[in-house]
């Protein structure tokens, strides 16, 4: 599942948390990279069988794992990255 994160909104929310600045910056970089890779991996007739797609998917997965690890260590990150209109289910 592809997601796009509002990195600037998340940056503003993180400024109001106790997350260390270095961790926040690393997290924002991971989200920015996920956004870029999601864009590259979005369905396109021209790029469906493009060489390197498998490597890109592996790279995407590693970034997702890094995101999950950071959110596990600092739960405030997961809260800050929720969409504005997020509601508990």
pTM > 0.85 = no
- Nearest CA to 70 out of 24, 6, 32, 9 is that of 24
Question: How does residue 82 score in pLDDT terms, banded at 50, 70 and 90?
Answer: confident
Question: pLDDT tens digits for 13-49?
Answer: 999 999 999 999 999 999 999 999 888 877 665 555 6
E strand map for the chain: none
pLDDT for the residue numbered 40: 80
Three-class secondary structure of residue 76 per DSSP: helix
What is the chain's mean pLDDT, rounded? 86
Question: How does residue 89 score in pLDDT terms, banded at 50, 70 and 90?
Answer: low
């Amino acid at each position: 599942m592809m997601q796009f994160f509002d990195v600037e909104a998340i940056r503003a929310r993180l400024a109001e948390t106790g997350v260390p600045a270095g961790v926040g910056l690393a997290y924002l970089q991971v989200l920015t990279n996920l956004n870029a890779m999601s864009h590259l991996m979005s369905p396109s007739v021209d790029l469906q069988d493009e060489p390197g797609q498998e490597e890109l998917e592996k790279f995407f997965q590693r970034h997702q794992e890094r995101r999950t690890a950071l959110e596990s260590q600092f739960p405030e990150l997961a809260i800050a990255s929720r969409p504005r209109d997020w509601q508990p289910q």
